[in-house]
Structure 1
């Protein structure tokens, strides 16, 4: 027998199997076949295993318990669980080993419900007991299925049989099951009664707390584990670092990092990548880069972690630099890396780099991926390439609420409200339900173009979905939409019925009143807001100060200014600009100058407001000096600045200087003069008695002159008794507005002057 078995083994697996299949008689012994099955298990060849199963089945060996159990194990190991089940079903005698092998096999290969059903059948046979491995497999199945009820029942059975005290593996699996279900209290309960706890079970519990965002408790268990003499392994270190990241414990990260360096583990890929991730999440990008540079080997996970860290911290340029270095080192970006790269492009508004990444996406065949496609739509939308955004969306094989919302938001943000609403209708036609972000973008679009009917429809849809009760922000956007459309009564109605209000909703309503001339109502609401103990946001103060610029509210503005100062907000740029604008319009230039001097940072709006104030009060030299200081500080003038400068020239009759500024506007700063600039120049020339030049400028305007310019010329013609030119100016005014009564008065005076001159001439 030994000689026969040795010669059979010498043939090799394939030849031995072929020999078995060809040999009709005599049949090999059970012992020989068991030996052959064991050889098959070592090599794990599925085709040989299936041929052996067929041979044993045809020749009646399949039902033998010793051979059958080994065959079940072989078939499970090569992944043929269904054939293993067939062998089990045909066994004459199914012992504990048969049941346990098959239960663990089903679970191992993802047939979780089948494994649990088999366990329930086994439990009904009093003489059979599941093994520790079976219980562990069953608990894993419950964890994956999130079937905590059945898991608890198995737990109770384990306790009843006294297995928990003597089997650390079962205890560890129980802890893991409860953690995966989110039942940390039950996991702790099992953990606390375990007689022995390995580093694996400690780490399992610690990882559970980290996954639930309970970093402090996780770190306490790490310390307790060390006190009990258990040395952390690599996975424990990973969990500890993530726990530090959860709570921003940078000091503990540095301590763990030092320990890893001491143990020579800093360059290990898993630990190094985790360190990079945690440092990045804590905003310590230099440390993250330093760890990354010391990694012995890098992979896509490490690169992606570093790139995402830079993007999350707002260092988009560095992120894109890493993105390029990664590719030069031969790494091809995965989906997550590409998404981070596109976010970086959005952060710095780099359309060119976004197009390069898009081209790479197309080369790699990733453009059809819904996540990547949606990110591309978002990138193009935010980088003001809406045609490309629409094109990418059109090419997606499937679209979802994310991709549609990215396009709708892009159109809305760049002032294309009608296209945004068109896309919204198309999205709903495709049966895609809007999310809150979609509604926000659509309501903003309605507000921007005054689409009140669509706004009412969207409001009704929001109401049906119950979003006003659950999403505070959507109520604020609704108030803002109605206010921008001029329906202040509707804005107030929505606001008054909001279940929850905040500074944003109050500001939307106050801003709406200010925008439509309801300054008194705005200030009333501002006072009501404070009576109800809401803290105004900077934007609320800005709106309230704008309300005070109306005649008669300067005192209220000073009171708000005092409140702003008491809260230390006077130095904020937007608030400072609003205060300067208030004092300028109220003629309080000393107060405006005082606020100006206190600002830590100033922009073109700040400087222009002060220049405008000097111009309005006829203080041309102060206006011009302020301009020079502004340019010296590196702030360039804009169109509004030049309007104020021309106004200053007008008040002081400085024709040559005004012409110099008009030329600088075009040739020095590359602006095209607006109607306001030309009208100011015409008025100045008329006041200076240079009517011919004024008329010539009106004729040279690249667009239709407005009533302001014609009025200036008409007034000059009255003073100069220029009947013909005055009549021409009058006719143009009447074409623009036939109810312009001041023009009729001026023309009547010109007629009177002409008649008087004619009478004197006759006399």
Structure 2
């Protein structure tokens, strides 16, 4: 009778040994297989240390079996062992069952530091920071000794909550307890201080005696995060050259991001060479950052080369290059890349779709926009805020504002970006009333506007050209404390300019605390638009006296003012100064504006001579050719009519302006057949006529009168006025006739 018992005991010992051996090498299925053999033998485990290995296997393979093992432990009375209780807690904590972890902890009669560490890690890992902090205070009263993982997680918890004062007090505790010398703890504190301010981080960094690669990486990442690319690159240089610390992939990702923010392609290429020398050009994350660097620096060719040399790619790799193509306006290449991406078997994610929607928006491709919308629905991205905002924006830019509104209405809780996008969409489609309505609805939903929302509101009010609305929007900016901001203040002065209130524009300009070149360009354009070209020129001189160098936009504003005011000599002088005095690059817009100026003044020979001097590769715009065509009509010069007309129709085939101008000119010259043919061509091409209109302000409200309108809601208000004006004109004409008759009679 004793032999089976001995055999059973021997087998049990062998199986226990096999469980421990299999566990040490991570063969979890074998661990559970041996445990089942023991259960089938009907014997009880005496060595309670084996349970920790069995629970580790359950953690990897079967949560339900782990609960069964826990029940078996309770039945056998092993739960009273602290080490066993710790193993059970560890199983539940790492499985995410925080409630069960706490339950076991509370039932333990004897707790050691391991017990406290496990339950604390469970709380902090699950994001239950407040409960974790309270438990940590209790643990200290019991003489608890935290391990490194617990200390690091506590610091990370303070950082996540941005509870920096508590974090600094914890820093004091670490100093008092002698735990600050641990490098990983120092690095965690360093990361927290980078969020507080780089001065705090720099102070701690200087105190760290043994700085490892993580210490340097945290500092470099902190500088990059605070847009201090120069300090980030200097730290990197110091780390490698002075201290000889071996860099890793994480370090180089931060360095590349800093270099991208700095925008210096020369430094970027030096870092690329450094990566190759250190063998980091095979790191996927590093290479993705390198592609992004080249794209942001505008060197798209180098980005393509780096992309092609990657040994393997993920969705981030494709999106980085795709974003680069879109950012650099290489839309055809972006679409080709997307085709290659699909052929490679990589599925588009939300970032891919947002980039494609940007292309649709720029090209106004409604068909592709709808195809992407269908893909969004199939992939379930209609719950992604970024995708939906981009889709709303794309439909609006394709002039399908109704589709944008439908999507907007389906969003239960739009965020501030969604509201701003909808306001911008209505404004883009020439619907300022609807844009302002959406803004008021946003206010009713208790959503506070941000600066972008305010800029969209100011643009809508500028489009409506109503002074009362503009003053209201100005008041919103004042209440937000943004009226003196350069960007917002510039938008305010532009808004008043569109309303014809040049004095208000000047006051808004004077209120800007720090005026930049954009602000000066805007006020110069405002004076030019409202018929004050001499004042615009005076502002240019005033700006130069203050030491601000005009950029091409400023010069274009001045040229436009000269064009509206007929100041030919002044315009020619400004045009010459752009290249000679300021050394700025002449753009096509400058040539077009000067051609327009010369053509309006009747200087056709000079205008055509200027066209011939335009550098190869530049193509004159339709507006300049239109000015030439109009001048040909006004000054009865028919020599260049056909050439100018062909250019206009080629550049703007869907615009009615060129067709109507040509038809009117032919009719004025008696060429009725050509005039009729131009009208027929316009109808054949389906070009719609955009009627002219007049804008009149009555009782602080703007009203438009479209050419050809015979009915108007407020006609009863204006008809008596118009009749009186008509009568006055007839009386004035009669007096002139009477005077003329009298003169003849003498």
Alignment match, 1:163? 78
Q: Distance in 1 between matches of 2:380 and 2:619?
A: 51
In structure 2, do the counterparts of structure 1 residues 519 and 744 end up closer, same or farther at CA, with 3 Å as the change threshold?
farther
Structure 1 residue 585 displacement after superposition? 1.7
Q: In 2, Cα distance between the equivalents of 1:451 and 1:216?
A: 51
1:47 match:
none
Following TM superposition, by how much is the alpha carbon of 1:227 offset from its aligned partner in structure 2, in angstroms?
A: 1.6
Please, which of 311, 325, 336 is the counterpart of residue 224 of structure 2?
311
Pairing 1:728–2:644 present:
no
- Aligned in 2, Cα 1:202/1:310: closer, same or farther, shift over 3 Å? farther
Aligned mates of 1:695, 1:709 — CA distance in 2: 11
Kept after mapping to 2: 8 A contact 1:342/1:375: yes
Quick one: structure 1 residues 343 and 747, their matched pair in 2 at CA, closer, same or farther if it must change by over 3 Å? same
1:186 pairs with 2:108? no
Give the direction of change, closer, same or farther, for the CA distance of 1:159–1:538 in structure 2 (3 Å limit).
same
Which residue matches 1:136?
52
2:289 equivalent among 367, 375, 385: 375
Take 1:708 and 1:390, find their aligned partners in 2: how far apart are those partners? 37
Cα 1:179/1:431, change in 2 over 3 Å: same
Deviations 1:230-258 (A, max 9, x none): 34455543343233223222223323333
Residues 650 and 434 from structure 1, CA distance in 2 versus in 1: closer, same or farther, beyond 3 angstroms?
closer
In 1, Cα distance between equivalents of 2:352 and 2:315? 8
What 5-or-longer segments of structure 1 have no aligned partner?
1-62, 67-90, 750-763
Task: Please state how far the C-alpha of 1:152 moved relative to its aligned partner.
Answer: 1.7
What are the Cα deviations for residues 183-211 of structure 1, in whole angstroms up to 9, with x where unaligned? Answer: 22221221222222222221222222222
Residues 438 and 549 from structure 1, CA distance in 2 versus in 1: closer, same or farther, beyond 3 angstroms?
same
Shift of 1:432: 1.2
Seen in structure 2, the aligned counterparts of structure 1 residues 357 and 733 have a Cα distance that, compared at 3 Å, is closer
Q: How far did residue 150 of structure 1 move? A: 1.9
Structure 1 stretch displaced more, 182-191 or 303-312: 303-312
Asked if structure 2 preserves the Cα contact closer than 8 Å seen for 1:268 and 1:296, the reply is: no
Alpha-carbon shift at residue 174 of structure 1 (Å): 1.9
Query: Quick one: structure 1 residues 451 and 699, their matched pair in 2 at CA, closer, same or farther if it must change by over 3 Å?
Result: closer
Please report how far the alpha carbon of residue 103 of structure 1 lies from its aligned counterpart in structure 2 after TM superposition. Answer: 1.7
2:633–2:665 CA contact under 8 A, matched in 1: no
Distance 2:473 2:606 in 1: 47
Q: Which residue in 2 is equivalent to 1:466?
A: 380
Aligned counterparts, 1:315-354, within 5 A: 315-328=228-241, 329-354=243-268
Stretch deviating more after TM superposition (100-109 or 562-571)? 562-571
Is 1:269 aligned to 2:183, yes or no? yes
Task: Find the residue that maps to 2:399 and give its secondary structure.
Answer: coil
Determine helix, strand or coil for the equivalent of 2:639.
helix
Q: How far, CA to CA, are the matches of 1:460 and 1:650 in structure 2?
A: 48
CA contact (8 A) 2:490 2:522 kept: yes
Q: Any conservation in 1 of the 2:497–2:530 contact (CA below 8 Å)?
A: no
Distance 1:678 1:471 in 2: 45
Q: How far, CA to CA, are the matches of 2:519 and 2:226 in structure 1?
A: 30
- 1:592 counterpart (505, 520, 526): 505
TM (norm. structure 2) is: 0.78
Tell me what 2:329 maps to. 415
> How far apart are residue 133 of structure 1 and its match?
0.8
Residues in 1 aligned to 2:36 and 2:408: alpha-carbon distance in whole angstroms: 59
- The answer as to whether partners of 2:155 and 2:192 remain within 8 angstroms in 1 is yes
**With CA pairs under 8 Å and 6+ residues apart, which has the higher RCO, 1 or 2?**
2
SS in 2 for 1:94: helix
Call closer, same or farther: CA 1:445–1:124 in 2, change over 3 Å. same
Given that residues 219 and 243 in structure 1 are in contact (C-alpha distance below 8 angstroms), is that contact kept between their aligned partners in structure 2?
no
Corresponding residue for 2:299? 385
> Which deviates more, 198-207 or 231-240?
231-240
Q: How far does residue 291 in structure 1 lie from its aligned partner after superposition? A: 2.9
Determine the C-alpha separation between the residues in 1 that align with 2:353 and 2:598.
52
In structure 1, C-alpha distance between the alignment counterparts of 2:144 and 2:179, rounded to whole Å: 18
| Deviating more after overlay: 488-497 vs 476-485 | 488-497
Distance 2:60 2:484 in 1: 56
SS at the partner of 2:41? coil
| Aligned twin of 1:153 | 68
Q: Residue in 1 aligned with 2:662?
A: 740
Q: Aligned equivalents of 2:619 and 2:378: distance in 1?
A: 49
**How many residue pairs align between the two structures?**
654
More deviation in 439-448 or 337-346?
337-346
Counterpart of 2:454 in structure 1 is: 541
Q: Secondary structure at the match of 2:196?
A: coil
In 1, Cα distance between equivalents of 2:443 and 2:281: 52
In 1, are the aligned partners of 2:55 and 2:69 still within 8 Å (CA)?
yes
User: Displacement, 1:614?
Assistant: 2.0
Q: How does 1:637-676 map to 2 (within 5 A)?
A: 637-649=550-562, 656-674=569-587, 676=589
Indicate the residue corresponding to 1:228 in structure 2: 142
Report the alpha carbon displacement of residue 715 of structure 1 after superposing the two structures with TM. Answer: 8.1
Task: Tell me the alpha carbon deviations over residues 607-633 of structure 1, each in whole angstroms, 9 at most, x when there is no partner.
Answer: 222112222344345434433443455
Aligned match of 2:110: 196
Q: Does 1:296 align with 2:212?
A: no
- Say yes or no: does 1:243 pair with 2:165: no
Please name the residue that 2:371 is paired with: 457
1:266 touches 1:291 (CA, 8 Å); kept in 2? no
CA contact (8 A) 2:632 2:641 kept: no
Q: For the residues of structure 2 that align with 1:680 and 1:246, how far apart are their CA atoms?
A: 55
Deviation at 1:588, TM superposition (A): 0.6
How far apart in 1 are the matches of 2:252 and 2:25?
Answer: 33
Alignment of 1:345-364 (within 5 A): 345-364=259-278
* Ranges in structure 2 where 5+ consecutive residues have no aligned partner: 648-657, 672-746
Query: CA RMSD for the aligned pairs?
Result: 3.5
Does residue 556 of the first structure (1) align with residue 458 of the second (2)? no
Q: Deviation per CA, 1:485-518, whole angstroms, max 9, x where unpaired? A: 2333433343344455344334334433433434
Give yes or no for the alignment of 1:101 onto 2:17.
yes
Alpha-carbon shift at residue 176 of structure 1 (Å): 1.7
